[in-house]
């Protein structure tokens, strides 16, 4: 099989996950829903960051920020690493739209999805056309060639372009 993507690592780049960056950029955006195309456990990173942020806010005697937007995971499993995870993502997007009636959906990709090579763009386009709800995604996948701020800035830029 031909190699389509080569990823390079730099010692100077921080080693963090781009998915919480996507989450934090839109976590308080009215009408948004975020989907992590990832195993369920990856969502704990965003949750832990949010809890830490709440404690930091409290320790500085500032007002707590509740009411973040829904965060879902496509719940990739071991067999999806072999057969692909797009069916799970599609199911998750449909569930998100039918349940939360969002104005906009954001997909953050995990390193697992990146390794599998799921065509997330195509799934997003297909579901967007069917439901007429904007669905944005990012090219970065977890920590593969990217870090927290890559996710943060890429989704922000894509929102501005839309």
Contacts (Cβ under 8 Å, ≥6 apart) of 106: 22, 26, 32, 33, 34, 35, 135, 136, 137, 155
Q: Contact at 8 Å (CB) between 34 and 22?
A: yes
Q: Is 111 in the site for ligand SF4 (CB under 6 A)?
A: yes
Task: Tell which one of 25, 42, 106, 107 touches ligand SF4 (CB under 6 A).
Answer: 42
Q: Is 45 in the site for ligand SF4 (CB under 6 A)?
A: yes
Stretch that binds ligand SF4, among 37-45, 84-92, 96-104, 149-157 (CB under 6 A): 37-45
What are the CA-CA distances from residue 121 to residues 42, 86, 94, 139, 145 (Å)?
20, 10, 15, 9, 18
Task: Tell which one of 74, 75, 110, 137 touches ligand SF4 (CB under 6 A).
Answer: 110
Looking at beta carbons only, is 111 or 136 nearer to ligand SF4?
111
How far is 133 from 118, CA to CA, in rounded Å? 21
Task: Tell which one of 19, 25, 71, 86 touches ligand SF4 (CB under 6 A).
Answer: 19
Q: Is 22 in the site for ligand SF4 (CB under 6 A)?
A: no
Stretch that binds ligand SF4, among 38-46, 65-73, 98-106, 152-160 (CB under 6 A): 38-46
Total binding residues toward ligand SF4, as defined by CB under 6 A: 9
Residue 41 token pair = 């456990």
How far is 117 from 80, CA to CA, in rounded Å? 11
Q: Is 152 in the site for ligand SF4 (CB under 6 A)?
A: no
Looking at beta carbons only, is 143 or 152 nearer to ligand SF4?
143
Q: Contact at 8 Å (CB) between 85 and 39?
A: no
Task: Tell which one of 38, 73, 74, 137 touches ligand SF4 (CB under 6 A).
Answer: 38
Q: Contact at 8 Å (CB) between 28 and 68?
A: yes
Residues at the site binding ligand SF4, with contacts judged by CB under 6 A: 17, 19, 38, 42, 45, 110-111, 142-143
């Amino acid at each position: 099989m031909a190699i389509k993507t080569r990823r390079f690592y730099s010692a100077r780049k921080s080693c963090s996950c781009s998915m919480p960056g996507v989450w934090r950029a839109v976590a308080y955006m009215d009408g948004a829903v975020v989907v992590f195309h990832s195993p369920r456990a990856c969502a704990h990173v965003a949750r832990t960051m949010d809890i830490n942020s709440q404690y930091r806010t409290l320790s500085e005697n500032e007002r707590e920020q509740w009411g973040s937007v829904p965060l879902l995971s496509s719940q990739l499993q071991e067999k999806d690493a072999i057969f692909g995870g797009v069916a799970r993502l599609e199911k998750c997007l449909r569930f998100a739209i039918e349940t939360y009636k969002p104005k906009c959906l954001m997909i953050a990709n995990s390193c697992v999805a990146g390794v599998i090579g799921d065509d997330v763009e195509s799934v997003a386009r297909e579901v967007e056309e069917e439901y007429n709800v904007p669905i944005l995604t990012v090219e970065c996948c977890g920590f593969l060639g990217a870090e927290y701020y890559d996710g943060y800035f890429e989704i922000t830029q894509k929102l501005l372009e839309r």
